[in-house]
Amino acid sequence: MGPRFVSLTSVALGGFFEERHHSLAGAMSSFVDALPDAEHGDIESLGRALGSVHGLYSYLLPESAGGAAVGRGGSKSYVDIRSLVLIREALGYCSPVADAIFAVQGLGSYPIVLSGSDEQRERYLPAVLSGDRIGAFALTETEAGSDVASLRTVAVADGDDWVLDGDKTLISNVGIADHYVLFANADPEKGRKGITAFIVERDADGLHTEQQPMSIEHPIGSLRLRACRVPDSQRVGAVGEGFKIAMQTLETFRVTVGAAANGMAAAALDDSIGHVRQRVQFGKSLGEQQIVQAYLADMATELDAGRLLVARAAYEKDVRGERAAREVAMAKMFATEAAQRIIDRAVQLHGGRGVLRNTRVEALYRGIRPLRIYEGTTEIQKLIIAKTLLR
Ligand SMILES: Cc1cc2nc3c(=O)[nH]c(=O)nc-3n(C[C@H](O)[C@H](O)[C@H](O)COP(=O)(O)OP(=O)(O)OC[C@H]3O[C@@H](n4cnc5c(N)ncnc54)[C@H](O)[C@@H]3O)c2cc1C
């Protein structure tokens, strides 16, 4: 293990952050030192403890829902993205699986924050905050990945209920989720304008789940809906509003993926510094070799560039209240791609140890890969950036 975790607030100095962020950064540094996943055993307990013990889910919710996110005149849907990037960077550093559960708790509750009825907000959000409920976000299908608007799961009205049929794949938190915010098309002829959001309980009749084995520790699986009956009171927002809700949710959280990548890259850099200081070859430490020094310099520079892009995008969203589509896409793309390069270098610097199963850099090498894919692939981020340039 190398030097102690250093928070983003120290890198991006005053400008982007406020006093409350510095306090949160301090709390997250202590959290990192406590290594929570070792403490809480299985994944589900860890997921619940992030709320019940550590209070982190409060940052996913606005003040109006009992959460810690205070801003933009008490807006009902305001979440403080700068707090979320601080939390995800720290979680990415110490426990990528905790980070994944935290992120999906956000995706599985924000549609309710955004468009849920008063009854849904009261029923779900306090339980999300305490960790009594773990949420999930079910959008992707086998034939609808980057092109999510082409999803084929259908919702047919039947009296006061909806009957859902279809299949979802690659849904995080399957196995530990208590509910899914699920997107189905209530009027396929209208294309994306028919997509509608529903809250489906884990024990709903007609819902079957199956874990999908992953290259990393990450709860994930598929959903099969066969005549799955959901009362109309579980519909989130208006019929046909689901695509907008899904996109707004993803846009809100996307920059935080970059933050998680930065945390993982920082862990790899720290381990590399620790390793090259003590590993001696050819009569001197690796750290005294100039090629090794050049690697470290590149890794640290790329990491700081990723962190600054993330801080800028989070600031734009919080303070200017803008979508900041270009800044967010740049931050997500650059930070995740740079983290992959940094972690690859870290493995190289560790030599053969770097590919021994369950050394930290080896786990990070596998762990960083999905971040370049989920919540919009690198290629999709490039399309978003180019679109804003050519507009
Ligand atoms: C770990 C993990 C967790 C996930 N969790 C969730 C979840 O909780 N909920 C959920 O709904 N989904 C989840 N997903 C799914 C994820 O959102 C999709 O994998 C992602 O959107 C890409 O879709 P796809 O896998 O079908 O790939 P495709 O869309 O088939 O893409 C394959 C390749 O083609 C490229 N491509 C596609 N379109 C274009 C284009 N127009 N131009 C150039 N290149 C293009 C892509 O960038 C990619 O490189 C998760 C995925 C992973 C890996």
**Chain segment 300-349, per-residue pLDDT in tens:** 999 999 999 999 999 999 988 888 999 999 999 999 999 999 999 999 99
Q: Are residues 293 and 268 in the same domain?
A: yes
Q: State in Å: Cα 146 to ligand 1 middle.
A: 5
Q: Is 149 in the pocket of ligand 1 (CB under 6 A)?
A: no
Q: Are residues 254 and 347 in the same domain?
A: yes
Q: State in Å: Cα 378 to ligand 1 middle.
A: 10
Handedness of CA 249, 251, 256, 258 (dihedral sign): positive
The CATH number of the domain holding residue 343 is: 1.20.140.10
Q: How far apart are CA 146 and CA 334, in angstroms?
A: 19
* Number of structural domains in the chain: 3
pLDDT the model gives residue 322? 82
Which residues, 6 or more positions from 127, have their beta carbon under 8 angstroms from its beta carbon? Answer: 133, 178
Q: Are residues 222 and 195 in the same domain?
A: yes
- Ligand 1 atom nearest the C-alpha of 107 is 8
Q: Are residues 217 and 79 in the same domain?
A: no
Give the closest residue to 182 by CA, choosing from 136, 126, 229, 123: 136
pLDDT the model gives residue 136? 98
Within a domain: residue 148? yes
Q: Mutual orientation of helices 81-94 and 19-34 as an angle, nearest 10°?
A: 20
Q: Are residues 252 and 359 in the same domain?
A: yes
Q: State in Å: Cα 123 to ligand 1 middle.
A: 32
Q: Are residues 203 and 282 in the same domain?
A: no
The CATH number of the domain holding residue 218 is: 2.40.110.10
pLDDT the model gives residue 378? 98
The amino acid present at 233, given as its one-letter code, is S
- Our answer to whether residue 375 is catalytic in this structure is yes
Query: Of all protein residues, whose CA lies closest to atom 6 belonging to ligand 1?
Result: 171
Q: Is 374 in the pocket of ligand 1 (CB under 6 A)?
A: yes
Q: Is 11 in the pocket of ligand 1 (CB under 6 A)?
A: no
Q: Is 170 in the pocket of ligand 1 (CB under 6 A)?
A: yes
pLDDT the model gives residue 72? 81
Q: How far apart are CA 313 and CA 311, in angstroms?
A: 6
Q: Are residues 249 and 383 in the same domain?
A: yes
Structure tokens given for 274: 């620790």
- Ligand 1 atom nearest the C-alpha of 173 is 8
Q: Are residues 376 and 295 in the same domain?
A: yes
Q: How far apart are CA 249 and CA 107, in angstroms?
A: 6
Q: Are residues 369 and 261 in the same domain?
A: yes
**Choosing from 189, 201, 375, 379, which is the catalytic residue?**
375
Q: Is 132 in the pocket of ligand 1 (CB under 6 A)?
A: no
Q: State in Å: Cα 285 to ligand 1 middle.
A: 42
Q: Are residues 201 and 281 in the same domain?
A: no
Q: What is the span of the domain harbouring residue 181?
A: 136-240
Structure tokens given for 198: 């529903």
Mutate to test the pocket of ligand 1, among 102, 139, 140 (most ligand atoms within 8 A of CB): 140
From 211, 240, 269, the end of a domain falls on 240
Tokens 């519909």 sit on residue: 235
pTM of the model: 0.95
Q: Are residues 236 and 312 in the same domain?
A: no
Q: How many CB atoms lie within 10 A of CB 160?
A: 8
Low-confidence ranges of the chain (pLDDT < 70): 1-3, 8-14, 35-40
Give the closest residue to 63 by CA, choosing from 20, 30, 97: 20
Within a domain: residue 285? yes
Q: State in Å: Cα 40 to ligand 1 middle.
A: 31
